[in-house]
Amino acid sequence: MTAKTQRFTDFFAQAVRDLPQRTREILAQRYGIDPQSSQTLGAIGERYGLTRERIRQIIADGVRTVRQSTRDNKEIYAPLEEAVCARGKIIPEEELLDAVSSSDHRAERGAARFFVDASENLRPLKRKDVVKAVVHVEFDEEQWTRVKEIVTAILSDVKEPLAHEILHKQYTKHPEADTQVDAETLHHYLTPVTDIAKNPFGRWGLTQWSDVRPRSMRDRIYLVLKEKGAPMHFRDIAAAIDAHGLSRGTTRTNIQTVHNELIKDQRFVLVGRGMYALRDWGYVPGTVRDVITQVLKEHGAPMAVRDVVAAVEKKRDVRKMTVLVNLNQHFKKVRRGVYTLPEEEA
């Protein structure tokens, strides 16, 4: 462990050295600087025979004392404040701890968390609509709330996840938008929000949407196909689920499971050998003959071969020769190169 990653534990030891021993122990246990601690108020209280409220008071008094004795120590607080201000003056606590300490040093992260509480310029943002976050005293919570409400309204209106640059463009067009919120600030503002998140492809949406937080294998398949925007083989879909971190745990996605779900869900259409597409794209189920029949019915008149082929290709991943064979075998030729429905289908 380098001196840099140990700096907050060193600062902590110096800052609390004049406090009563019990207070030092309780602070270390509460903030996880003591590796044996469960950190809960109840567990600490049982250890000392004190109530949870009394433990809370001891912690508050200890933090207040350290705040007074270290308020001018820029070596302690400057890295914390700089990390928060660099991210729009609001940052998830875990992201802040990642920025100033080693992710595998529990005591160091606990000590950094202690100095966040002891800082005069930082405070936790305690709201149900954000993850545990830290803000600077200059953070404009009213502005942030308005931004969040506008973005929620935009996403609710478009009803699909948006790339960040598109979302910011939509935001700037809103009549109530704050022009001082640039694309970077918007990103920082949205990161701690619990009901807005990026999906695995980096698009913002509402967390209740299945294409933001897919909950089932069918949702994952749909998200992969939607992002690809073109038919995919079921093996490639399974590989993409793993490649984009959509699979649960470390187990590789079962290819046969993916194939089974594709077959059972009407949102997916078999458009070629092992190839699947979304029905939303205009692809239709059935044989090539069925597709040609639908094309001719929709057109309502005889069609040239080239037009039939073009229309079928929009609905099915199929070779031109396959379309021609089906036209010759199952449909009525009006004149050279022009076909219509057989009499029984007309």
Is residue 314 over pLDDT 90?
no
Strand order in the sheet with 275-278: 232-233, 275-278, 268-272
**pLDDT given at position 36:** 66
User: Minimal CA–CA distance to 198: which of 140, 234, 155?
Assistant: 155
Q: Which residues contact 181 (CB under 8 A, 6 or more apart)?
A: 143, 147, 171, 189
**pLDDT tens-digit readout, 117-156:** 999 999 999 899 999 999 999 999 999 999 999 999 999 9
Is residue 6 over pLDDT 70?
no
Is residue 1 over pLDDT 60?
no
Give residue limits of the domains in the chain.
7-135, 141-194, 217-278, 288-340
Between 227 and 282, the higher pLDDT residue: 227
CATH annotation of 288-340: 1.10.10
**Residue 115, burial from CB neighbour count under 10 angstroms (0-12, 13-18, 19+):** buried
pTM of the model: 0.78
**pLDDT given at position 38:** 64
Q: What tokens were used for 176?
A: 């109530």
**Architecture field, domain 7-135:** Orthogonal Bundle (1.10)
**pLDDT given at position 116:** 97
**pLDDT given at position 271:** 86
**pLDDT given at position 5:** 54
Kindly state the average pLDDT of the residues 72-97: 96
**pLDDT given at position 141:** 95
Question: Residue 91: helix, strand or coil by DSSP?
Answer: strand
DSSP string, 1-40: --TTTTHHHHHHHHHTTTS-HHHHHHHHHHTT-STT----
- Residue 346: band (very low, low, confident or very high) from pLDDT cuts 50, 70, 90: low
Is residue 316 over pLDDT 90?
no
Q: What does DSSP say about strands 90-92 and 122-125: parallel, antiparallel, or unpaired?
A: unpaired
Is residue 104 over pLDDT 50?
yes
**pLDDT tens-digit readout, 145-179:** 999 999 999 999 999 999 999 999 999 999 999 98
**Architecture field, domain 217-278:** Orthogonal Bundle (1.10)
**pLDDT given at position 134:** 97
**pLDDT given at position 37:** 64
Is residue 278 over pLDDT 90?
yes
What value does the mean pLDDT of the chain take? 92
Helix runs in the chain, H state only: 7-15, 21-30, 41-48, 52-70, 74-85, 93-100, 106-118, 141-158, 164-173, 183-190, 217-228, 234-243, 255-264, 288-299, 305-315, 320-330
**pLDDT tens-digit readout, 201-247:** 999 999 999 999 999 999 999 999 999 999 999 999 999 999 998 88
- Whether 7-135 and 217-278 share one fold: the answer is yes
**pLDDT given at position 2:** 40
**pLDDT given at position 345:** 66
Orientation angle between helical segments 41-48 and 21-30, nearest 10 degrees: 150
